[in-house]
Amino acid sequence: MRKSFQLMNKNKHHPPKEADRLKKIVESFPNVTVTVLGDLVADEFIFGEISRVSREAPVLILKHKERTIVPGGGANAINNLADLGVNVLPVGIVGDDEAGRTLLKYFRHKKIPLSGILKDKSFPTVTKTRVLAGLPHTWRQQVVRLDKEPEAEPNHHLKRELVLATRQYTRASDALLLSDYGYGAAAPAIWNTIRERGRFDRLPVVLDSRYRMLQYSGITAATPNEPEVEHALGARIGTDWRRLCAAGEEVMKRMKLQSLIITRGREGMTAFSQEHKPADIPISGSDQVADVTGAGDTVIATFTAALAAGADAQEAAHLANYAGGLVVMKRGTATVSQQELLQAVTQSTPLIREH
């Protein structure tokens, strides 16, 4: 059984000190640069009002109202870093298609450099189309999702260009973020090639890998969710604190990480590091989640930015938790701004569950 616990203010005797430290870290974000090598995804949302039931089949007919395309996957991590005030250098691939052009236009509008983003006809932009339905003055609910994916991984030429751009950018960066959604731009083999001639002993390298995190080596930190950890280890965690700790320590050991965050939905997140015992951090703000789409991208973006700014793993985890708590209250694929994060730090003190 899970042990009973109480919420404890980690800085009970010096509450202003930690808040001031976290604020200084967030305020320094414009002074740091992060390279992102990732699978760039276009998140498409089609909104429709429920009109009637079709005569052709027992399905709803939706009256089209709106269509939007926003950055998703690794592109969402890039977008989050930019909105946090970080100087972000993206590396990835988009297709010569509408979705790819929309992502480039979106980044250009935010003055995000585009020279590391490759445009290629042979590699269509990964597009995740969500159809949402609702009535006037009601929440829109997702009714179906359609994914458009490349038939194969990037070709040899594209992989070589990804390696060269990442090496070039990391020379001027304070951290590297790897966003691997399984489409090939941030695959373990590409990372291994980047490492061969690069020096990453002092540069934080933070990984978010959907399906294969244990295949990476030379990583500083990782931010998987609980189901991804269970899948990687072939073990069930559930609500057992001891199992969670054992799983986190096993991942730390296998990947030789300096730190690890396991996100746990409504339960918040648990932070592991070489310096501290596991920290069970409850979700920041309300646990009435509106939408978890892209929340993991917000978490890794904030965590990486904080490490790049000189935060230790636990400080970075607290900031990532604040950001995650903010973004799940927003509909669709969303970001958290530097000002929103500063406000959250000012309004509430970081908490840790004591076991």
pLDDT digits over 191-238, tens only?
999 998 777 778 999 999 999 999 999 999 999 999 999 999 999 998
Average pLDDT on 40-46 reads 96
Is 96 one of the annotated active-site residues of the chain? no
Question: Which among 77, 88, 120, 78 has a CA at the least distance from the CA of 101?
Answer: 120
Q: Tell me which amino acid residue 8 is.
A: M
pLDDT digits over 84-135, tens only?
999 999 999 999 999 999 999 999 999 999 999 999 999 999 999 999 998 8
pLDDT digits over 132-147, tens only?
998 887 878 899 999 9
Residue with tokens 């490490």: 307
At 188 the three-state DSSP class reads helix
pLDDT digits over 60-92, tens only?
899 999 999 999 999 999 999 999 999 999 999
Residues present in the chain in total: 355
Would you state the pLDDT for residue 292?
A: 56
Catalytic residue among 174, 180, 208, 297: 297
Task: Please say if the pLDDT value at position 27 is more than 90.
Answer: yes
Q: Tell me which amino acid residue 222 is.
A: A
Average pLDDT on 18-29 reads 92
Alpha-carbon distance 169 to 306, whole Å? Answer: 19
Task: Please say if the pLDDT value at position 289 is more than 70.
Answer: no
Question: Would you place residue 17 in the very low, low, confident or very high pLDDT band (cuts 50, 70, 90)?
Answer: confident
Tell me how crowded residue 50 is: count the other CB atoms within 10 A of its CB: 17
CATH code at 11-42+72-127+153-349 = 3.40.1190.20
Q: What does the block give as tokens for 151?
A: 């038939």
Would you state the pLDDT for residue 11?
A: 40
pLDDT digits over 319-333, tens only?
999 998 887 766 667
Residue with tokens 């991590």: 77
Would you state the pLDDT for residue 13?
A: 39
Alpha-carbon distance 118 to 142, whole Å? Answer: 32
Pairing outcome for strands 6-9 and 269-273: unpaired
> Cα–Cα–Cα angle for 310, 316, 321, nearest 5°?
160
Question: Would you place residue 16 in the very low, low, confident or very high pLDDT band (cuts 50, 70, 90)?
Answer: low
Domain ranges of the chain: 11-42+72-127+153-349
Tell me how crowded residue 325 is: count the other CB atoms within 10 A of its CB: 24
Q: If you average pLDDT over every residue of the chain, what do you get?
A: 89
Percentage of the chain modeled with pLDDT above 90: 72
Alpha-carbon distance 306 to 230, whole Å? Answer: 27
Q: At 118, which helix (H) or strand (E)?
A: strand 117-120
Would you state the pLDDT for residue 268?
A: 87
Average pLDDT on 245-274 reads 94
Higher pLDDT residue, 25 or 7?
25
Residue with tokens 């009970």: 12
Average pLDDT on 19-24 reads 90
